[in-house]
Amino acid sequence: MASTYRVINVAAFRRVSAVATACDSLRRDLLERWGIQPTHVETILNGADFNVFNPERYSEPSLSPFPRYCLFAGSLTPRKAPDLVMRALVEALETNFVFAGEGPMRGRLERLATELGVAERVAFLGAVSPERLAALYIGADLLVLPTFSETSPLVAFEAMACGTPVLSTRVAGLPELVHDWQTGFLVKPGDVGQLAIAIRFLTADRKKLARMGNEAQRRVRKRFLWPNVARQYLALYERLLPEAPTPPTVEERVSEPKLEAVAA
């Protein structure tokens, strides 16, 4: 895999005029590991669609069977580690959990919930529409991302746009968005104990959740809505365009020789 990445991706990175990465950690990897010139790499984080992920204009009912819950949104794959949530629930006894998303781990997760005795506190909703997902974000205490590998996950921006703080692992671009005690909280990847303690501690303090949710939404509105992201890409494209020739002045236009019609 690394050799394929080097042959195809890195070769392309070295030939183009600019590379836009979705997080600073990926930018550092290109600079330090692959030797891409710093002037050729720019970080532009992802964003959220505030027309959809906006609690102020939303009335869709939540699909959650629980009045209070934490939310996992994304593919049920080993890389995103949804099984760690299930194990953390053994220690977070007062917490219900909703999984929104499909993937190859679903059957295994359902069996694990039964084995661990937490099945009554877990709901699997499968894939949901953006509108239904927005309602789930709005109703959740936390979006929980126990992932081992990410860049700049859209679900984090979407949840924060809905005023929901994010509990995530300290990987890739997540620390650029999730700030401890301000917009959420970060834990060590793979550490079930830390994850369980954070879930228990954060969900026990509704005032803290509300403060973090308000700050999360404020930051996304200020910087991470798609029009703001699009402006950053547009500015990057404009810098790469060749300079247009300077239009002639009035004096130069007047002094240009006039062409006279010649009869055939």
> How does residue 241 score in pLDDT terms, banded at 50, 70 and 90?
confident
Measured over the CA atoms of residue 9, residue 15, residue 16 and residue 18, the dihedral's sign is: positive
> How does residue 16 score in pLDDT terms, banded at 50, 70 and 90?
confident
> How does residue 263 score in pLDDT terms, banded at 50, 70 and 90?
very low
pLDDT of residue 8: 79
Average pLDDT across the chain, whole number: 89
Mean pLDDT for 150-170 is 94
The closest of 129, 69, 59 to 96, measured between CA atoms, is 69
Residue type, 126: G
Minimum mean pLDDT range among 60-69, 185-194, 199-208, 211-220? 60-69
What crossing angle do the helices spanning 192-203 and 82-89 adopt, rounded to 10°?
60
Question: What percent of the chain shows pLDDT beyond 90?
Answer: 67
Mean pLDDT for 244-253 is 57
pLDDT of residue 264: 38
pLDDT of residue 60: 73
- Alpha-carbon distance of 23 to 36, in angstroms, equals 16
Q: Phi, psi (5° rounding) for residue 174?
A: -65, -40
Domains of the chain: 55-223 (3.40.50.2000)
Greater model confidence, 250 or 95: 95
The closest of 146, 151, 132, 123 to 46, measured between CA atoms, is 151
Mean pLDDT for 169-174 is 90
pLDDT of residue 62: 83
pLDDT of residue 246: 62
In the numeric block, the tokens 């007047």 are attached to 254
Tens digits of per-residue pLDDT, 59-93? 678 899 999 999 999 999 999 999 999 999 999 99
The closest of 81, 101, 237, 115 to 158, measured between CA atoms, is 101
Mean pLDDT for 112-132 is 96
Q: What contacts 229, CB < 8 A, 6 or more positions away?
A: 44, 45, 46, 47
pLDDT of residue 25: 86
> How does residue 261 score in pLDDT terms, banded at 50, 70 and 90?
very low
> How does residue 147 score in pLDDT terms, banded at 50, 70 and 90?
very high
Mean pLDDT for 191-213 is 96
- Alpha-carbon distance of 188 to 67, in angstroms, equals 29
Residue type, 251: E
pLDDT of residue 210: 96
- Alpha-carbon distance of 47 to 249, in angstroms, equals 43
pLDDT of 219 higher than 60: yes
pLDDT of residue 251: 56
pLDDT of residue 262: 41
